[in-house]
A and B are shown apart, each in its own frame.
Chain A
Amino acid sequence: MKTRYLPLIATIIVFVSLYLWGALQFDNFFSMRVFTNLFTDNAFLVITAIGMTFVILSGGIDLSVGSMIACVGVSVAVLIEHYQFHPILAFTIVLISAWMFGTFMGILIERYKLPPFIVTLAGMFFLRGLSFVISIESIPITHPFYDEIADFSIPVIGGGNLTASTVIMLIVLIIAVFLAHYTRFGRNVYAVGGNESSARLLGVPVSRTIINTYAFNSFLAALSGIVFSFYTFSGYSLAAMGLELDAIASVVIGGTLLTGGVGFVVGTVFGVLIQGVIQTIISFDGTLNSWWTKIFIGLLLFVFIAMQRLISSGHILVYFKNMKGRVIGDTKADTTRY
């Protein structure tokens, strides 16, 4: 048992308990349908939160993803409805543009040593403004391709359905897990977030890693914007307001350290699902205001950050000390902590 799995395990426990609690409270809660809907409703948030996980693992932050989702939605709608582009072509254009936009932010952050908070804040205003310039009105998308996507569904035993959004999300998740844990790029992201100057001395291509991380995140935010448009059948410049904060909250609740270097992509998924389950519980209840979700998320965030503090300061380690394997001579691991 490694201490680095503790936050992940805690997140999963919270998710499972919430789900079980819901199942005990309400009939029909414990059904495949409710479960798969959880994915459908939150697919876009999972996708962008996965991108955010990489950025936070690298020790940065990206505030532009909510605006990116709105801007992508509006752009895709305009390209399809006003310019008669095929959706696939429109998607390709926005994904490539988003990649370039992320690269540009990454270059500003890495080359000119600007704080990520400020650079991506500027990115957030820029993209939100751009969405309004493109269109103030909400643009409905009526292309038949969208109907096909809406009709697409893989039935799951128990009455559940995997929608196109869910499938895309699962593919992104699998790729991201491999990228994070089984490629040099992924490990370099962890290394840079763990200690940037040491990473440089160990020969990690720090600049390239940071720039690619932001590019990858913007790409996933754009993909999330596309998935969001499947969900809403429109592009609207006021969409996804403050979504970047939901994404950051999911990452932190998922057990990723805000200072970087520690965390799991899978944890983020559970971070999003916890928010989804709370929302589902509230809608099942029917009497509670949906803003209770935010209050609960606020409390959870506080608890998780406090827990991370305890873990990283070594207080919790005391209980796991004796589980370490053989150590040279009798020098115990953890006896010297600086």
Chain B
Amino acid sequence: MEPKSILKVSQLNKSFPGVKALSQVQLELREGEIMALLGGNGAGKSTLIKCITGVYTSDGGSISLSGQSIRGLSAEEIILKGISTVHQEVNLIPTLSVAENIYLGRQPYRFGLIDWAKMNTNAEELLSSMKVFIDVTATLNDYSIAVQQMIAIARGVDMSAKVLILDEPTASLDNKEVEQLFTLMRELKSRGIGIVFVTHFLDQVYDVCDQITVLRNGQFVASSSVDELPQIELINLMLGKQISNKNSSGKSRHTTDSNSKPFLSASNIGRKGMINPCDVNIYSGQTLGLGGLLGSGRTELAKLLFGIVKPEQGTIQIEGEVKAFGSPHDAIQEGLAFCPEDRKVEGIIGELSVLENMVLALQAKQGWFRMIGPKEQKEIGKKFVRSLNIVTSDINKPVKELSGGNQQKVILARWLASGPSLLILDEPTRGIDVGAKSEILQIIDGLCKQGMALMVISSELDEIVEFSDRVSVLKDHNMIAELTGKDISTQKLMETIAHEGRD
């Protein structure tokens, strides 16, 4: 007998002002099934989850739980109906005990007072039935994120969950913790609970899931059982590209001279939960592309190199000298520059003018007591507005009034003004239009020719192929391959991501 369907979403639409976040999305989850919900950034996974869990109300379509429509119910009502969600950031109270976190708001009472003894026994029984053996009277904060997630799952399951939504629970866990989580998921599956599992780790999908649903740009792409969908096809579906034999060669590649010394050489650099130990070499006048899917550890690697997060192991050498970066400031002093991925959060200071944003890094590098004079500032501003072709009526305009592409160029100008020897660009073309994109790619190429070392992170495989001299491929927090010369092609990249790194 076919297992009963419990959660069914069909023809779901959701628009935000100016954006169509979801259109005609469908999903069907059966009892005792683990469904992977996959898609790149902006594919609509989190919007879909928020629609299902009642955080957003969808504009049209239907969502039903065990045949009963649940569309339009509030988030609290949906929890009571039996859909529980566990997020990457654990939404529990860190300062309360484990047992309290499980029973908060529904503590057992006796004689008008909370019955702590009963609560603790219940919690212990519940957790041990899920093969989690911990001291339930300890403070939640005393446990690792992995254990906290299991406690959150236990709470959800205990509140009579039929459907459990796990939103990227494994993103900050190490391998052993992931395995523990999977054991728990299989246990729940055997109890008939349906699980929606959102992850960026493809290997995990094949380890634990039964079904796969892929979204792309807010649209339903495919739904299939895991056995019928090999990894390479899955990546195709996620990226929306057919493998072609076209070997784009946008760039005359430099082959690395084996004698030449890298500008930056990191060996065995790594940190738990971010990236497993790996080696990176970046040469002057060359571009190193970092390829891999979202969440594969690309940005994390960049953050380690730039001193934003301290590596737990490994060394960094700049021109042959060992350096330890305690902070980004140290890295800047050594001639590094980092253009972060999310420019709104980590880069641009919207209220400040275009010019002020540009001179920020240079000023920081010089030290705050050696003010850059207004004349000098203006020259810098003019130079970069011209050379990077920044479209702005006035360099004293607040930078937030500029378009996305131009904002990105302002950040680029900021780092270029500081005269770096190595520039790290994280998703330099994210969220900007095609025209600006190709301009930025040209700028990257130009910088390279001037002898700057570049490391560029991008999800767009085409882009990586176009500008890289060498490509390091990351997958699931491991560096799995380094491609050079003729090997750099979209096809080879995809194959590498799909096939390497499996145990």
Residues in chain A within 8 A of chain B (CB atoms): 2-4, 178, 181-184, 187-188, 190-191, 193-195, 197-199, 201-204, 257, 261-262, 317, 324-329, 331, 333-336, 338
Q: Mark B239-274, 1 if CB is under 8 A from A, else 0.
A: 000000000000000000000000000000000110
Contacts of A2 in B (CB 8 A): 137-139
Given contacts A183-B114, A334-B142, contact A190 B95 (CB under 8 A): yes
Contacts of B273 in A (CB 8 A): 336
Given contacts A194-B95, A195-B94, A326-B134, contact A333 B142 (CB under 8 A): yes
Chain B residue nearest in CB terms to A325: B135
Could you tell me the distance in whole angstroms from the C-beta of A38 to the nearest C-beta in chain B? 30
**Chain B interface residue number, banded:** 35 or more
**How far apart are the CA atoms of A183 and B139 in the complex, in Å?**
19
**How far apart are the CA atoms of A317 and B142 in the complex, in Å?**
9
Contact check, B95 vs A202: say whether CB atoms are below 8 A apart.
no
Contact check, B96 vs A194: say whether CB atoms are below 8 A apart.
yes
What are 11 of the A-B contact pairs (CB < 8 Å)? Answer: A182-B113, A183-B114, A184-B107, A195-B91, A197-B91, A262-B95, A325-B134, A328-B133, A329-B180, A333-B142, A336-B146
Contacts of A327 in B (CB 8 A): 133-134, 143, 147
- State the majority secondary structure of interface residues on A: loop
8 Å CB contacts to A: which residues of B137-162? 137-139, 142-147, 150, 155
Chain B residue nearest in CB terms to A205: B105
Contacts of A257 in B (CB 8 A): 95
Kindly state whether residue B167 has any CB partner on chain A within 8 Å.
Answer: no
A-B contacts besides A202-B104, A324-B135, A333-B143, 4 pairs, CB < 8 Å: A191-B96, A191-B104, A195-B95, A199-B104
- State the majority secondary structure of interface residues on B: loop
Chain A residue nearest in CB terms to B79: A203
Contact check, A190 vs B96: say whether CB atoms are below 8 A apart.
yes
**How far apart are the CA atoms of A290 and B96 in the complex, in Å?**
40
Could you tell me the distance in whole angstroms from the C-beta of B184 to the nearest C-beta in chain A? 10
Per a CB cutoff under 8 Å, which of B91, B95, B144 touches A201?
B91
8 Å CB contacts to A: which residues of B93-130? 93-96, 100-101, 104-105, 107, 113-114, 116
Contact check, B147 vs A261: say whether CB atoms are below 8 A apart.
no
**How far apart are the CA atoms of A200 and B132 in the complex, in Å?**
26
Chain A residue nearest in CB terms to B159: A203
**How far apart are the CA atoms of A194 and B92 in the complex, in Å?**
9
Contact check, A333 vs B134: say whether CB atoms are below 8 A apart.
yes
**How far apart are the CA atoms of A15 and B95 in the complex, in Å?**
26
Contacts of B135 in A (CB 8 A): 324-326, 333
Contact check, B93 vs A202: say whether CB atoms are below 8 A apart.
yes
Per a CB cutoff under 8 Å, which of A190, A325, A326, A328 touches B147?
A328
Contact check, B76 vs A203: say whether CB atoms are below 8 A apart.
yes
Contact check, A202 vs B133: say whether CB atoms are below 8 A apart.
no
**How far apart are the CA atoms of A184 and B115 in the complex, in Å?**
11
Could you tell me the distance in whole angstroms from the C-beta of B312 to the nearest C-beta in chain A? 12
Contacts of B176 in A (CB 8 A): 329, 331
8 Å CB contacts to A: which residues of B261-299? 272-273
Kindly state whether residue B334 has any CB partner on chain A within 8 Å.
Answer: no
Which of A181, A184, A194, A257 has most B Cβ within 10 Å? A194
Per a CB cutoff under 8 Å, which of B114, B138, B145, B180 touches A187?
B114
Could you tell me the distance in whole angstroms from the C-beta of B386 to the nearest C-beta in chain A? 45
Chain B residue nearest in CB terms to A193: B95
Chain A residue nearest in CB terms to B127: A328
**How far apart are the CA atoms of A255 and B432 in the complex, in Å?**
52
Contacts of A199 in B (CB 8 A): 93, 104
Contacts of B133 in A (CB 8 A): 326-328
Closest 6 pairs (CB-CB, A-B): A261-B95, A194-B93, A336-B144, A194-B95, A325-B135, A182-B113
Contacts of B96 in A (CB 8 A): 187, 190-191, 194, 261
Given contacts A188-B105, A190-B95, A333-B134, contact A178 B113 (CB under 8 A): yes
Contact check, A335 vs B94: say whether CB atoms are below 8 A apart.
no
Per a CB cutoff under 8 Å, which of B105, B137, B142 touches A202?
B105
Could you tell me the distance in whole angstroms from the C-beta of A275 to the nearest C-beta in chain B? 26
Kindly state whether residue B177 has any CB partner on chain A within 8 Å.
Answer: yes
Contact check, B92 vs A198: say whether CB atoms are below 8 A apart.
yes
Per a CB cutoff under 8 Å, which of B100, B144, B150 touches A333?
B144
Could you tell me the distance in whole angstroms from the C-beta of A315 to the nearest C-beta in chain B? 14
